[in-house]
Amino acid sequence: MIALDDADRAILRALQRDATQSAGAIGRALGLSQPACWRRIKRLEEAGAIAGRRIVLDAEALGFGVTVFLGIKLAARGRVSLEDFERAVAAIPEVQVVQHVLGRFDYRLRVTARDIADFERVLRRRIMTLPGVGQVEANVLLSEERRPGPLG
Amino acid sequence: MIALDDADRAILRALQRDATQSAGAIGRALGLSQPACWRRIKRLEEAGAIAGRRIVLDAEALGFGVTVFLGIKLAARGRVSLEDFERAVAAIPEVQVVQHVLGRFDYRLRVTARDIADFERVLRRRIMTLPGVGQVEANVLLSEERRPGPLG
DNA sequence: CTTGAAAAGAACTGCCT
DNA sequence: AGGCAGTTCTTTTCAAG
């Protein structure tokens, strides 16, 4: 487990908000020099605290206005393996995230579609036909807010 | 709504996987020159297809080994406003994501904690005391896989 | 840790097909 | 639209205090 001091936490928080910021700009905001801040970022990357850098897409702007979270309980009968389910789910392009979870559901999926009609198509033809699928529950996303988190 | 061709989609896919790649490197993989690829990325940013760039933290490496998804149904009685709930939730550092949803729940929260004991503390002292909170359901994350999505 | 500077690479610009 | 050549800017690395 990686130990962080206040400056490390501030750096991670800043980069989580906007990863285009330069080491110099972040350092300036913290009272650190550019090389000092840069070395900290490098260290955090090498230690594995920073897993990677990604762009965030605006699904709405790209014509995918509907995001739905599905909770899926596998049917007890049939002994369909989790691997079969995961393989089949991975072949559905509309599935953005697959979460294996413990609780009332076995899997949670984040699904995006162009509109409700499109989502119905995905649900009926792709989701309901997954191997071993039992109960399915849906929650439609209205709005979403990301927060820095405890680390972080 | 932004129209994308195959090259745009390939660029977004590449940057979603790893946003450290340079325009030159991505272009080379697609048979585009550095400026051509750079202009496409710029256009996608200005059109709003790319909402931003963020680092991805490794919660496990940072000592937050437990991630739990909470579904929360507000109590019908009391007429507590969504704003009150959202304000109170925003003050809990362990909450990473707040999703306002439609369906069996009103809100979905992504919560991270150091361990199960730590999560219990958050649940009892922070979550269950939120204004207007009714039914709460939890799913513990075992593993998670992100996929490119339909766009994307 | 700092400042300063140099080298490498990426971002950006103009012009041309 | 895309490519080429050039300029400008960061990022990255190093030297020295």
Chain D bases near protein CB atoms (7 A cut-off)? 1-6, 10-15
The answer to whether B78 faces chain A, any CB pair under 8 Å, is no
Q: What is the mean pLDDT of residues A89-99?
A: 98
Average pLDDT, whole number, for chain A?
95
Residue A145, token pair as written in the block: 């807010």
Cα B143 to chain centroid, rounded:
15
Q: Is A120 helix (H, G, I), strand (E, B) or coil?
A: helix
Residues of chain A found within 8 Å of residue B148, distances taken between Cβ atoms:
93
- pLDDT tens-digit readout, A111-129: 999 999 999 999 999 999 9
- The answer to whether residue A39 scores a pLDDT higher than 90 is yes
CATH code assigned to B6-46: 1.10.10.10
Q: Is A152 helix (H, G, I), strand (E, B) or coil?
A: coil
| Beta pairing class for A50-57 and B50-57 | antiparallel
Strand D contact with B19 (CB < 7 A):
no
**Min Cα separation A59/chain B (Å):** 8
Predicted confidence at residue A50, as pLDDT, reads: 96
pLDDT the model gives residue A118: 98
Q: Residue B59 has what pLDDT?
A: 96
Q: For residue A152, is pLDDT > 70? A: no
Neighbours of B5 (CB within 10 A): 8
For the domain bounded by A66-140, which CATH number is listed? 3.30.70.920
- CB of B33 within 7 Å of some strand D atom: yes
Chain B nearest-CA distance from A118, in A, is 12
Residues of chain B within CATH 1.10.10.10 domain(s) are 6-46
Strand, coil or helix: A66: strand
Tokens found for residue B87: 């304000």
State the average pLDDT over residues A59-86. Answer: 91
End-to-end CA distance of chain B: 14
Q: Is the CB of A16 under 7 A from strand C?
A: no
Q: What is the mean pLDDT of residues A60-66?
A: 97
pLDDT at res. B151:
82
Q: Residue B1: what pLDDT?
A: 92
Q: Where in chain A is the domain with CATH 3.30.70.920?
A: 66-140
pLDDT at position B80: 73
Nearest CA-CA partner of B69 in A119, A101, A26: A101
Burial group, residue A93, by CB count within 10 angstroms (0-12, 13-18, 19+): middle
**B44: closest chain A residue by CA:** A57
The answer to whether strand D lies under 7 Å from the CB of residue B35 is yes
Other C-beta atoms closer than 10 Å to the C-beta of A91 total 10
- At residue B138, the pLDDT reads 98
Q: Predicted confidence band at A44 (pLDDT cuts at 50, 70, 90)?
A: very high
User: Out of B102, B147, B152, whose CB is closest to A57?
Assistant: B152
Does B98 sit within 8 Å of A17, measured CB to CB?
no
A:22-41 Cβ neighbours of strand D under 7 Å: 22-25, 34-35, 38
| Conformation bin of residue A132: beta by default, left when phi > 0, alpha when psi is -120 to 50 | left
Return chain B residues 32..61 having CB < 7 Å to nucleic acid strand C. 34-35, 38-39, 42
Check residue A21 and give its pLDDT: 95
Alpha carbon distance A149, A87 (integer Å) = 31
Q: Is the pLDDT of residue A140 over 80?
A: yes
What pLDDT is recorded for position A30? 92
Asked if A7 reaches chain B (Cβ–Cβ under 8 Å), the answer is: no
Q: How far apart are CA B145 and CA B152, in angstroms?
A: 16
Number of H helices, E strands in chain B: 5, 5
Q: How far is A78 from chain B (nearest CA, A)?
A: 23
Q: Give the residues of chain B that fall short of pLDDT 50.
A: none
